[in-house]
Structure 1
C-alpha cells in the first residue's frame, strides 16, 4: 500500500515514529556517508561514472515508488523539469569532481555558498550583509591556508555551488508544476540520460563488475532516496526555519565523514572556514524566517507552497 506521494506506507510510518529533528540529522549523515563511499570508489571508477550509477539507482527507485504521471504535460512543464534535471546532474558531477581533488568537508563547504548566496542576494535586510561577510571570512580563511588545495578541485566546488543555486531556483518552478516527488523522479531520469554517454564511456567494463554496481546502488540509496524520504517526512512536522538551520550542518557532517571514512584531516584554518559558513547559513535562515513570518502576518494574502516548506537538500 502506498501514500499519495508514492512512498510505501510502512517506510513512512517507521519514519514518523522518529522525532523530526533526528530524521533531518540522519538524512544529513546519510547524504555525506554516501559521498564518502562514492569517493572511495574513485580509484576503480571515475567520478562521472560513479555519479551516473548513483543517479541511475535513485531514478529507478524513485520512478518505481512515485510513478510520475507523464500525460497532459505542457512544453513549459517539460522545459522546466529538463532544466531541473540538468542542474541536478551538473551539481552532482561538479561536486564529485571536487571530491576527487580536495577534502570532502571543504568541497561541501564551498558548495554550500551557492544556496547561501541565493538567500542573501534575494534579501533586502541589512543583517544579511553580516552573514555575507561571515561567509566571506570563511572563504578568506581557506585562502590564507598554507596547505596546498588543488585549484581545479576548488573550481569544481564553486561550479557545484552555482549549479546548486540553479537547482534551488528550478526546484521551486518544478514543485509548482509537478506534485510530490514526481519532479525529482523525472529530473533524475533526465540526469541519467544526460550523463549516460560520458559516464558509460569513462566507466567502461568496470561498470559490469557486480560488486561496483552494488556499491553504486548503496551510494544512490544513501545519497538520494533515504535523505529525501526523511526530509519530506520531517518537513511535515517542523517549521521550515528549524529545518533550514539543521541543514546548515551539512559542511560539518561532510568534514566528520571525511575524517572517519577517508582519514581527511582538516587544519585549524579549514575548520574555521567550515564554522564560518555554517554560522552564516544558520543565521541567514533564522533571520529570513523571522522576516517572512512578520510579512505573512501583516498580509491579507496567504501564498503558501504545497507544504509551506523549502525544498529538501541536494540529492
Structure 2
C-alpha cells in the first residue's frame, strides 16, 4: 500500500477512536473517558512490548515518568477540548504545539514563517468558534483545554526524543503510558472504572485504545521505515483534514468555509516545518505526532 494511503488510514483510525470517545462522554465525563483510554492503551502496549524483560535504571524510569505525565495530560486535555469544540478545529489548534517546537529548534525562514501561518489559521478557527453559536462556557473551556493539550504536545516531543534516544521508543511508551495512568488513577479511576461494568462500554473503551493508540502507532512505525522524516512531516499536514472528515461523517460536525481556510493554513504551516535536508528513513522529525 502506498505510504500516503497508510498515513491516511492511520489518521482516520486515530480520530475514529476520538469520535467513539465523544459518544461515551454522556456516560462518563471527558476526563474519565480519557483516563480509560490511557489505561487501556497502556495494558495493550504492555502485553505487546513486555517492558519487564528490559533493564531499567532509576534515571530512565524518572524520565519516562515525566514523559508519561506529559502524555497523559495531553490526552486528558484533548478529550476535554473535543467535548466542547468540533473535532477538526481542536486537532488543528493542537498542532500549534509541534509547529512551535519546529520553529524554535529550526534555523530557516520556513520554520519561522510557519508560526505566522499557523497563528493566522488558529485565529481564524478560534474566531469562527466564538461566533459559532456554541455556549460561551463551551468555547472558553474548549479553547483553554486545547491550548493545554498543544503545550503538552510540545513537551511530549522534547521529552519523547530524550526517552527514545535512551532505548526502545515503543517499549518506553508502554511504561510511560502506564505511569501516566497510575498518576491520575487516584483522581479519575473511581468515577471511570464503573463504566466498565457494562460490556458495551468496556468494548468501546478497548476500541478507543485500539483505534487511537495501537493501530496508528503501529502503522506509523511501518511508515517511518519507508520514508524520511521530512516526508513524514509533510504527511502530518493530512491529519487536520482527516480529523475534519471524521468529524463531519461520524459526528455531523461539518466545517464552514472559514473553518476550511483555517484548516488549510494550519496544514500549510505543518508542511512548512518539514525538514528539507536529506535524512535516513526512520529518523524522528520535530513534529512527530503523539502515538496515543
TM-score relative to the length of structure 1: 0.85
Mapped partners of 1:113, 1:171: distance in 2: 17
Mapped partners of 2:143, 2:71: distance in 1: 19
Corresponding residue for residue 313 of structure 1: 289
Alignment match of 1:89 (pick from 49, 52, 72)? 72
Aligned residues: 284
Where do 4+ consecutive residues of structure 1 move more than 4 Å? none
1:98-157 per-residue CA deviation (whole Å, 9 max, x = no partner) reads 010011011111111100110012122223332221112112213443324511101100
- Provide the secondary structure at the position in 2 that maps to 1:236: helix
Query: Displacement, 1:159?
Result: 0.4
- Name the CA shift for 1:98/1:180 in 2 (closer, same or farther; >3 Å): closer
Corresponding residue for residue 230 of structure 1: 219
Alignment match of 1:147 (pick from 132, 157, 164)? 132
Corresponding residue for residue 163 of structure 1: 152
TM-score relative to the length of structure 2: 0.91
Alignment match of 2:162 (pick from 157, 173, 177)? 173
- Provide the secondary structure at the position in 2 that maps to 1:189: helix
- Name the CA shift for 1:241/1:87 in 2 (closer, same or farther; >3 Å): same
- Name the CA shift for 1:97/1:237 in 2 (closer, same or farther; >3 Å): same
Structure with the higher helix share, 1 or 2: 2
Query: Displacement, 1:200?
Result: 2.0
- Say if 2:120 is the partner of 1:137: yes
Worse-matched range after superposition: 203-212 or 189-198? 203-212
Mapped partners of 1:148, 1:80: distance in 2: 43
The answer to whether the Cα contact below 8 Å between 1:48 and 1:202 also exists between their aligned partners in 2 is: no
Mapped partners of 1:82, 1:89: distance in 2: 10
The answer to whether the Cα contact below 8 Å between 2:98 and 2:154 also exists between their aligned partners in 1 is: yes
Query: Displacement, 1:69?
Result: 3.9
The answer to whether the Cα contact below 8 Å between 1:49 and 1:198 also exists between their aligned partners in 2 is: no
The answer to whether the Cα contact below 8 Å between 1:86 and 1:187 also exists between their aligned partners in 2 is: yes
Mapped partners of 2:94, 2:172: distance in 1: 23
- Provide the secondary structure at the position in 1 that maps to 2:51: coil
1:13-52 per-residue CA deviation (whole Å, 9 max, x = no partner) reads xxxxx33332222111110111111111101111122112
The answer to whether the Cα contact below 8 Å between 1:228 and 1:312 also exists between their aligned partners in 2 is: no
The answer to whether the Cα contact below 8 Å between 1:249 and 1:278 also exists between their aligned partners in 2 is: yes
Over the residues paired in the alignment, what is the CA RMSD in angstroms? 1.9
Question: Structure 2: any 5+ residue segments left out of the alignment?
Answer: none
The answer to whether the Cα contact below 8 Å between 1:50 and 1:199 also exists between their aligned partners in 2 is: no
Alignment match of 1:111 (pick from 74, 90, 94)? 94
Corresponding residue for residue 228 of structure 2: 239
Corresponding residue for residue 9 of structure 1: none
* Aligned residue runs from structure 1 range 177-188, under 5 A: 177-188=166-177
Query: Displacement, 1:205?
Result: 3.0
Mapped partners of 1:223, 1:270: distance in 2: 24
- Provide the secondary structure at the position in 2 that maps to 1:181: helix
* Aligned residue runs from structure 1 range 45-56, under 5 A: 45-56=28-39
Question: Structure 1: any 5+ residue segments left out of the alignment?
Answer: 1-17, 297-303
